[in-house]
Amino acid sequence: MRNTEMAKLGGLVGQWRTTISDAWFLEPPGTTIPGDTVVEWLGNSLLVVHSTFGGGGHEGSEMRFVLGRSDANNRFVALYEDERGVCREFEMTFDDGHWEMNREDPDFHQRFIAEVKADRILARTEASDDGGQTWRKDFDLTYERI
């Protein structure tokens, strides 16, 4: 039986065309990187988000999130990993089309902020090197359902 709170994330399931844009680290300004994302259930209580990016002269990259929930603590959690071997844990909220993932670790803070519609997700990622006092945008992410 599907976990009731996790079922609220069911609208994310499917295939998405994904684009990274407005990234501080991409030259020249206006550069975009295309990608694809697949979101699928792992059992009844976890979602796996697998994104691949590359093309347009940019080296390929991959990232994965496993989205889950601690029922006892009444909160969503997300675990992240990528091809560099990076592993991170994020606190997560998902409510009325607003999706956030936040981490506050000693190395730096990060956040993912998204507005979710049936066929499109508009998101941005931000980072802070000073404990959350100031934030810089890393990049925008656009997900379009295929």
What is the pLDDT at residue 2? Answer: 86
> Tell me, what CATH number does 128's domain have?
2.40.128.20
Q: Is residue 128 part of a domain?
A: yes
Q: Is pLDDT of 57 > 80?
A: no
- Residue 11 falls inside a structural domain: yes
Q: Name the residue range of residue 101's domain.
A: 6-145
For the cut 80, the answer to whether the pLDDT of residue 43 exceeds it is yes
* CA atoms within 13 A of residue 107's CA, in its CB half-sphere: 6
89 belongs to a structural domain: yes
Tell me what percent of the residues of the chain surpass a pLDDT of 90.
87
Report if residue 46 sits inside a domain.
Answer: yes
- Relative to beta strand 98-104, strand 87-95 is antiparallel
In a domain, 66, yes or no: yes
Residue 19 belongs to some domain of the structure: yes
Q: What is the pTM of this model?
A: 0.93
Residue 1 lies in a domain: no
d(CA 98, CA 1): 25
Domains in the chain, number: 1
Q: Evaluate whether residue 38 is within a structural domain.
A: yes
